Protein backbone atom coordinates (compact mmCIF):
# COMPACT_ATOMS: atom_id res chain seq x y z
CA UNK A 1 0.00 0.00 0.00
CA UNK A 2 1.20 3.49 -0.78
CA UNK A 3 1.42 6.41 1.66
CA UNK A 4 -1.73 7.14 3.65
CA UNK A 5 -1.24 10.72 4.80
CA UNK A 6 1.39 13.47 4.92
CA UNK A 7 1.38 15.25 8.28
CA UNK A 8 3.39 18.50 8.50
CA UNK A 9 5.59 18.82 11.59
CA UNK A 10 6.45 22.48 11.35
CA UNK A 11 7.53 24.25 8.15
CA UNK A 12 10.54 22.03 7.45
CA UNK A 13 9.50 18.49 8.37
CA UNK A 14 6.68 16.01 7.95
CA UNK A 15 5.58 12.48 8.76
CA UNK A 16 4.30 10.22 6.02
CA UNK A 17 1.95 7.60 7.45
CA UNK A 18 2.10 4.12 5.93
CA UNK A 19 0.64 0.69 6.58
CA UNK A 20 3.44 -1.01 8.53
CA UNK A 21 7.17 -1.11 9.22
CA UNK A 22 7.97 -2.89 5.95
CA UNK A 23 6.15 -0.16 4.01
CA UNK A 24 8.01 2.50 6.01
CA UNK A 25 11.36 0.89 5.22
CA UNK A 26 10.42 0.66 1.53
CA UNK A 27 9.32 4.29 1.38
CA UNK A 28 12.51 5.48 3.10
CA UNK A 29 14.68 3.43 0.72
CA UNK A 30 12.72 4.70 -2.28
CA UNK A 31 13.02 8.32 -1.10
CA UNK A 32 16.79 8.06 -0.68
CA UNK A 33 17.21 6.38 -4.07
CA UNK A 34 14.94 8.96 -5.71
CA UNK A 35 17.00 11.86 -4.42
CA UNK A 36 14.38 13.44 -2.16
CA UNK A 37 16.36 16.37 -0.74
CA UNK A 38 15.73 16.05 2.98
CA UNK A 39 18.33 16.48 5.70
CA UNK A 40 17.23 13.18 7.18
CA UNK A 41 14.80 10.38 6.29
CA UNK A 42 13.90 8.21 9.27
CA UNK A 43 11.60 5.15 9.04
CA UNK A 44 9.62 3.98 12.08
CA UNK A 45 6.86 1.43 12.73
CA UNK A 46 4.14 3.11 10.62
CA UNK A 47 5.66 6.45 9.60
CA UNK A 48 8.62 7.99 7.81
CA UNK A 49 10.01 11.30 9.07
CA UNK A 50 11.29 13.70 6.43
CA UNK A 51 13.34 16.37 8.21
CA UNK A 52 14.70 19.55 6.70
CA UNK A 53 12.36 19.76 3.71
CA UNK A 54 9.12 21.54 2.82
CA UNK A 55 6.22 19.10 3.39
CA UNK A 56 4.66 20.25 0.11
CA UNK A 57 7.77 19.07 -1.76
CA UNK A 58 7.55 15.66 -0.08
CA UNK A 59 3.86 15.38 -0.96
CA UNK A 60 4.60 16.27 -4.59
CA UNK A 61 7.47 13.78 -4.81
CA UNK A 62 5.51 10.76 -3.56
CA UNK A 63 4.51 8.33 -6.29
CA UNK A 64 0.82 7.79 -7.07
CA UNK A 65 1.28 4.03 -7.01
CA UNK A 66 2.27 1.52 -4.32
CA UNK A 67 5.97 1.44 -3.56
CA UNK A 68 7.64 -1.92 -4.10
CA UNK A 69 9.00 -3.65 -1.05
CA UNK A 70 12.60 -2.80 -0.28
CA UNK A 71 14.97 -5.51 -1.39
CA UNK A 72 17.30 -7.24 1.04
CA UNK A 73 20.36 -5.61 -0.44
CA UNK A 74 21.85 -4.08 2.70
CA UNK A 75 25.07 -5.34 4.29
CA UNK A 76 24.94 -8.64 6.16
CA UNK A 77 25.99 -8.63 9.81
CA UNK A 78 26.47 -11.91 11.67
CA UNK A 79 25.79 -11.72 15.40
CA UNK A 80 27.09 -14.56 17.62
CA UNK A 81 24.72 -15.41 20.48
CA UNK A 82 25.11 -17.50 23.60
CA UNK A 83 21.63 -19.02 23.87
CA UNK A 84 21.18 -19.18 27.63
CA UNK A 85 18.48 -16.56 28.12
CA UNK A 86 15.93 -16.80 30.95
CA UNK A 87 12.98 -17.01 28.55
CA UNK A 88 14.17 -19.75 26.19
CA UNK A 89 11.80 -22.30 27.71
CA UNK A 90 8.90 -19.82 27.62
CA UNK A 91 9.48 -19.23 23.90
CA UNK A 92 9.69 -22.99 23.33
CA UNK A 93 6.34 -23.31 25.10
CA UNK A 94 4.75 -20.65 22.90
CA UNK A 95 6.09 -22.35 19.80
CA UNK A 96 5.33 -25.89 20.96
CA UNK A 97 8.88 -27.11 20.45
CA UNK A 98 12.14 -27.77 22.26
CA UNK A 99 14.71 -25.19 23.31
CA UNK A 100 17.05 -26.62 20.66
CA UNK A 101 14.42 -25.99 18.01
CA UNK A 102 14.01 -22.38 19.19
CA UNK A 103 17.73 -21.86 18.58
CA UNK A 104 17.50 -23.60 15.20
CA UNK A 105 14.60 -21.40 14.11
CA UNK A 106 16.19 -18.18 15.37
CA UNK A 107 19.48 -18.89 13.59
CA UNK A 108 17.70 -19.88 10.35
CA UNK A 109 15.96 -16.53 9.83
CA UNK A 110 17.57 -13.70 7.91
CA UNK A 111 16.30 -10.63 9.76
CA UNK A 112 16.26 -7.10 8.36
CA UNK A 113 16.69 -3.95 10.46
CA UNK A 114 13.57 -1.94 9.62
CA UNK A 115 14.00 1.01 11.97
CA UNK A 116 15.77 2.11 15.15
CA UNK A 117 14.19 3.36 18.35
CA UNK A 118 13.81 2.93 22.11
CA UNK A 119 17.55 3.53 22.69
CA UNK A 120 20.54 4.49 20.51
CA UNK A 121 21.53 1.39 18.56
CA UNK A 122 18.35 -0.58 19.27
CA UNK A 123 17.11 -1.89 15.91
CA UNK A 124 13.72 -3.45 15.32
CA UNK A 125 14.47 -6.54 13.26
CA UNK A 126 11.73 -7.96 11.05
CA UNK A 127 11.61 -11.39 9.47
CA UNK A 128 10.19 -13.72 12.10
CA UNK A 129 7.11 -15.49 10.67
CA UNK A 130 3.72 -14.49 12.08
CA UNK A 131 3.19 -17.95 13.57
CA UNK A 132 6.30 -17.42 15.72
CA UNK A 133 4.98 -14.27 17.43
CA UNK A 134 5.41 -14.19 21.21
CA UNK A 135 3.95 -11.84 23.85
CA UNK A 136 5.91 -9.38 25.92
CA UNK A 137 6.35 -10.04 29.61
CA UNK A 138 3.35 -9.01 31.71
CA UNK A 139 5.71 -7.10 34.01
CA UNK A 140 8.87 -5.71 32.37
CA UNK A 141 12.22 -6.43 33.99
CA UNK A 142 13.78 -3.47 35.77
CA UNK A 143 17.14 -4.28 34.15
CA UNK A 144 17.98 -6.17 30.98
CA UNK A 145 21.74 -6.53 30.39
CA UNK A 146 23.52 -5.01 27.43
CA UNK A 147 23.75 -7.49 24.57
CA UNK A 148 20.57 -9.34 25.49
CA UNK A 149 18.79 -10.76 22.42
CA UNK A 150 15.03 -10.78 22.70
CA UNK A 151 11.72 -11.33 20.94
CA UNK A 152 8.40 -9.48 21.21
CA UNK A 153 5.50 -10.16 18.86
CA UNK A 154 7.31 -10.85 15.56
CA UNK A 155 10.16 -8.45 16.35
CA UNK A 156 13.69 -9.38 17.32
CA UNK A 157 16.04 -6.92 18.99
CA UNK A 158 19.35 -6.63 20.81
CA UNK A 159 19.62 -4.32 23.81
CA UNK A 160 22.62 -2.02 23.19
CA UNK A 161 22.89 -0.97 26.85
CA UNK A 162 21.46 -2.15 30.15
CA UNK A 163 17.90 -0.88 30.51
CA UNK A 164 14.41 -1.91 31.58
CA UNK A 165 12.66 -4.17 29.09
CA UNK A 166 9.79 -6.56 28.59
CA UNK A 167 10.95 -8.71 25.67
CA UNK A 168 11.48 -12.47 26.00
CA UNK A 169 15.23 -13.05 26.23
CA UNK A 170 16.88 -15.82 24.23
CA UNK A 171 20.52 -15.13 25.01
CA UNK A 172 23.33 -12.58 24.86
CA UNK A 173 25.94 -11.30 22.43
CA UNK A 174 29.21 -9.43 22.88
CA UNK A 175 28.61 -7.44 19.67
CA UNK A 176 28.77 -3.68 20.21
CA UNK A 177 25.46 -2.32 18.96
CA UNK A 178 26.23 1.38 19.40
CA UNK A 179 29.59 3.13 19.22
CA UNK A 180 29.56 6.89 18.67
CA UNK A 181 33.20 6.72 17.54
CA UNK A 182 32.35 4.53 14.53
CA UNK A 183 31.63 6.07 11.14
CA UNK A 184 28.18 4.47 11.41
CA UNK A 185 27.46 4.32 15.16
CA UNK A 186 24.59 1.81 14.90
CA UNK A 187 25.82 -1.68 14.04
CA UNK A 188 22.36 -2.66 12.77
CA UNK A 189 21.28 0.44 10.88
CA UNK A 190 18.02 0.32 8.88
CA UNK A 191 18.40 -1.93 5.85
CA UNK A 192 21.05 -4.15 7.45
CA UNK A 193 20.51 -7.89 7.05
CA UNK A 194 21.14 -9.82 10.25
CA UNK A 195 21.93 -13.48 10.87
CA UNK A 196 22.26 -14.78 14.41
CA UNK A 197 24.75 -17.59 15.02
CA UNK A 198 24.97 -20.03 17.91
CA UNK A 199 28.16 -19.18 19.78
CA UNK A 200 27.88 -22.36 21.85
- Domain CATH code at residue 36: 3.30.1360.40
Clarify whether residues 89 and 156 are in a common domain. yes
Clarify whether residues 192 and 97 are in a common domain. yes
* CB 148 within 8 Å of CB 162: no
Clarify whether residues 124 and 54 are in a common domain. no
Clarify whether residues 40 and 124 are in a common domain. no
Please state the rounded mean pLDDT for residues 20-44.
Answer: 86
Residue 24: the pLDDT is 86
Clarify whether residues 168 and 80 are in a common domain. yes
Residue 49: the pLDDT is 92
Domain of residue 28 covers 5-61
Clarify whether residues 42 and 90 are in a common domain. no
For the stretch 186-196, pLDDT in tens is 999 988 999 99
| 42 part of a folded domain | yes
**Res. 76: pLDDT tops 50:** yes
pTM for this predicted structure: 0.80
How high is the mean pLDDT of the chain? 90
- Domain CATH code at residue 175: 2.40.100.10
Clarify whether residues 99 and 180 are in a common domain. yes
Ramachandran category for residue 153: left, alpha or beta (phi over 0 → left; psi -120 to 50 → alpha)? left
Clarify whether residues 57 and 145 are in a common domain. no
Clarify whether residues 84 and 130 are in a common domain. yes
Q: What is the DSSP string of 72-124?
A: S-SPEEEEEEB---TTHHHHHHHHTS-HHHHHHHHHH--EEEEEE-SSTT-EE
Confidence of residue 70 (pLDDT cuts 50, 70, 90): low
| 10 part of a folded domain | yes
Residue 2: the pLDDT is 52
User: Which range (2-11, 121-130, 176-185) has the least confidence?
Assistant: 2-11
| 69 part of a folded domain | no
Amino acid sequence: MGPVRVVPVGPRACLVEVEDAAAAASLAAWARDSGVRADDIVPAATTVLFDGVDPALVRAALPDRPIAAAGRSGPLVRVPVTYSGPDLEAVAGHWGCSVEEVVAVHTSVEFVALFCGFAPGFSYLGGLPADRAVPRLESPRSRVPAGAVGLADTWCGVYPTASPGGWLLLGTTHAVLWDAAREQPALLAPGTRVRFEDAG
